[in-house]
Structure 1
């Protein structure tokens, strides 16, 4: 055997464990507001940070040391102070922005907490339905996507479909399938006040969040949410735009769903699809984003589908698989949109 390769892999394992613990510590820092408290505060010692946040000093001290070793914080050994660099705060303490990463950290315990059940599913089949991830699951997905939807959907992503963008400006009809906590509909409603929006999702907890949010935004005349599937929609309703964001791969019946959505789409309408950014071939996904997405697939996305007897398409479908699926559902137009993103890929699908 190659001893150098053994050594390199042993180093990788230790590095992976360090990263895993770092992600867990980052979750705590996000959850209890430590990053937010350190943002823009300059150098601070552990006792002062504990007093500022009202948190337990011993835990804060150990957290600061761990985050320093993970290179999230800068440390001054002479003064024993810690500092969150502005460049790190830009990502860690910017909830509601399109560059906030806190949602990723919220997903860590939410997903890995299901690891024993997922391991059991490896042996006995089945999986973990979305509802079993609880309120933390709803929150994690919301935090991962909210800022992106609010800042980029109308002003950037949808401009790549100019005819649809113009339609919504003058007044269109929009369906968000798998709407989750409703952020897409709310963001687009603010941008297109003459258009009407409907969001549907099978998760009742997510729909409750969506309804509460639309009430807070005073958009109840323009945006409506319902718990269920396309069966809950009026028979004669047709849409200029249907959005399906980061959920086709989660579905129990992705083909049947797309077939139903095609019947709801106007002849000149667009099905706007967002999926995790992955290549068609495994060898092109061997990088940190690929490792993250395959892990999310096993612990969250694929297992949801398998829990209900679905095909378990998995997070990393790739453009070729997505195009084949939409054409099988009867769509004739498929375009990968020229939208820059490190983590997502965007498609415009039509009749």
Structure 2
């Protein structure tokens, strides 16, 4: 028996446990407004954080100590506990607090918390072959999924991803009233991004999850875009009735569809003459390899705990999981009747981009 390999795996699981526990603590810091209080009012003692954030003093003290031990907050350990002040480094605030910052990774903690809340249901689904509804993952996962993509949608969707299709960009800028659909819009960040980028555009956001649409409507109103961004709970088949569209966005959604070819057919039917589809999906390897790199490992992690269980609620289902390779996207596009599926030359660590032409 190779004891070195045994030890390596044991150490890896220890490190994974440490990371998971620290992500749960990050979730508490975000959900309870603790990081925000430290950013706006810090440095703070435990008593001051308790007052600012409205939490019990004993919990404030323990959470602050844990965060300092984990290296997420700065403090002087030689100062008596009751007088000790804790500081959030502005560089770390970008990761933990600032929702539009490209470095904002704290939503991963929300996603983990959402999965933790239903992991027993996931295990039961494995036994029965059934699924776990998306809504069962709750507000935490919904918030995490929406906000982990928010910075990229806000800063890169129009300027980099759509710009990789110069003819589409020109069309959206020149048309007097271009029409854009965002299929599976979630909390609405991608729909809002294109509405800001193209002030003359009318944007329709569709999602099958009622809570996500409620969130998206609230975000649109807060952004002052409620008059140009229409957000409806609906599936893709309704696009045929509401089109034609110059551009349809499918942002990290295609792999989650139970009937991807049927959906793509409906999207194709909803396109205006010369209209195109922009698909963003996971930048997984071209083929299965084992062991895989960190991106591949992460995508399979989401797949076994979230994406596949949610897809198996509806039957029949393509049951794609999270890992959808480029050849599969091309096959689905052609089966749906698209004349071309082109991988766009956009550098991104997590997403691969596809242009679908009628």
- Answer whether TM exceeds 0.5 for this pair: yes
Equivalent residues, number: 351
**What CA deviation, in whole Å up to 9, does each residue of 1:227-248 have, x standing for no partner?**
1123334547321100011111
Residue 102 of structure 1: CA displacement? 2.4
Give yes or no for contact 1:170–1:194 (8 Å, CA) kept in 2: no
Matched, 1:191 2:197: yes
- Aligned residue in 1 for 2:246: 240
- Aligned residue in 1 for 2:271: 265
- Whole-angstrom CA distance in 2 between matches of 1:38 and 1:212: 27
Once the two structures are superposed, the pairs formed by residues 249-288 of structure 1 within 5 Å of their partners are 249-283=255-289, 286-288=292-294
Any idea what SS the aligned residue of 1:311 has? coil
Q: Which residue, 110, 116, 137 being the options, matches 1:112?
A: 116
- Whole-angstrom CA distance in 2 between matches of 1:281 and 1:114: 30
Give yes or no for contact 2:191–2:203 (8 Å, CA) kept in 1: yes
Matched, 1:181 2:187: yes
Residue 81 of structure 1: CA displacement? 4.8
Give yes or no for contact 2:94–2:101 (8 Å, CA) kept in 1: no
Q: Which residue, 339, 346, 349 being the options, matches 1:342?
A: 349
Once the two structures are superposed, the pairs formed by residues 115-264 of structure 1 within 5 Å of their partners are 115-171=119-175, 172-233=178-239, 235=241, 237-264=243-270
**What CA deviation, in whole Å up to 9, does each residue of 1:76-109 have, x standing for no partner?**
3223554333322221121233332222111111
Any idea what SS the aligned residue of 2:103 has? coil
Structure 1: which 4+ aligned runs deviate by more than 6 Å? none
Give yes or no for contact 2:100–2:150 (8 Å, CA) kept in 1: yes
Matched, 1:330 2:337: yes
For the aligned residue pairs, the C-alpha RMSD in angstroms reads 2.3
Change in Cα spacing, 1:37 to 1:176, as seen in structure 2 (3 Å) is: same
Query: Which deviates more, 237-246 or 209-218?
Result: 209-218
Query: Which deviates more, 132-141 or 26-35?
Result: 132-141
Query: Which deviates more, 87-96 or 336-345?
Result: 336-345
**What CA deviation, in whole Å up to 9, does each residue of 1:314-341 have, x standing for no partner?**
1121222222222222222222222232
- Whole-angstrom CA distance in 2 between matches of 1:119 and 1:248: 25
Change in Cα spacing, 1:181 to 1:62, as seen in structure 2 (3 Å) is: same
- Aligned residue in 2 for 1:24: 24
- Whole-angstrom CA distance in 1 between matches of 2:342 and 2:25: 40
Q: Structure 2 length normalisation: TM-score?
A: 0.90
Any idea what SS the aligned residue of 2:205 has? strand
Change in Cα spacing, 1:304 to 1:279, as seen in structure 2 (3 Å) is: same
Residue 75 of structure 1: CA displacement? 4.4
- Aligned residue in 1 for 2:71: 71
Residue 249 of structure 1: CA displacement? 1.1
Q: Structure 1 length normalisation: TM-score?
A: 0.91
